[in-house]
Amino acid sequence: MGISIAELLTGDYRQNDNPSGNMRNVHFYVCPVCGNIITSVGHGTYSCCGITLPEAEWEEAKDEHIVNIETIDNEYYISVQHPMSKQHYISFVAYVTSSGVEIAKQYPEQEVQVRFRKKGHGYIYAYCNRHGLFRVRL
Ligand SMILES: [Fe+2]
């Protein structure tokens, strides 16, 4: 039938119009239980820890989720002034271009300071475990 069991059970059928989707339009799915991160070029149905994961919808970075980007030589230096307690922290930072996704996992009680080698225009994403996904255009 071309429908997965998860789609059958949830009644949430996913179909992608463009089978060669651009990496720049990547979708993130984050497990709220274990923090697992799944990236997908198209829409899909993914589950982890017994939960069907909702797609993380991004917002423009603002307030405590402002993403600071400095260019140093051929690298982007990313920092986020955000609480990094065990209850509330930036879980990952991602650099997305049309050719790829690079994810830097972040951990509580450590500052968010990430360097990515410049590979062209795209987006920087920061994911907060409480407030979700924030994005800045490069
Ligand atoms: Fe937050």
Reduce the secondary structure of the chain to three states and give it as a string. CCCCHHHHHHCCCCCCCCCCCCHHHCEEEECCCCCCEEEECCCCCCEECCEECCEECEEECCHHHCEEEEEECCEEEEEECCCCCCCCCEEEEEEEECCEEEEEECCCCCCEEEEEECCCCCEEEEEECCCEEEEEEC
**What residue numbers bound the domain in which 105 lies?**
5-137
Q: What pLDDT, on the 0 to 100 scale, is given for residue 17?
A: 65
Q: What pLDDT, on the 0 to 100 scale, is given for residue 42?
A: 85
pTM of the model: 0.87
Compute, in angstroms, the gap from residue 130 CA to the centroid of ligand 1. Answer: 5
Compute, in angstroms, the gap from residue 81 CA to the centroid of ligand 1. Answer: 10
Compute, in angstroms, the gap from residue 40 CA to the centroid of ligand 1. Answer: 23
Compute, in angstroms, the gap from residue 132 CA to the centroid of ligand 1. Answer: 7
Q: What are 20-47's pLDDT values in tens digits?
A: 668 888 999 999 999 999 999 988 899 9
Cβ atoms 15, 2 nearer than 8 A = no
Q: Which residues contact 6 (CB under 8 A, 6 or more apart)?
A: 45, 47, 52
How far is 29 from 40, CA to CA, in rounded Å?
8
Q: What pLDDT, on the 0 to 100 scale, is given for residue 13?
A: 67
Compute, in angstroms, the gap from residue 39 CA to the centroid of ligand 1. Answer: 21
Residue 39 one-letter amino acid = T
The sheet with strand 112-117 has its strands ordered as 67-72, 75-80, 112-117
Please tell me the total number of residues recorded for the chain in this structure: 138
Q: What's the number of domains the chain is made of?
A: 1
Supply the mean pLDDT for the chain. Answer: 90
Q: What pLDDT, on the 0 to 100 scale, is given for residue 25?
A: 87
Residue 74: other Cβ atoms inside 10 A: 8
Compute, in angstroms, the gap from residue 103 CA to the centroid of ligand 1. Answer: 18
Q: Give the CATH number of the domain where residue 95 resides.
A: 2.60.40.730
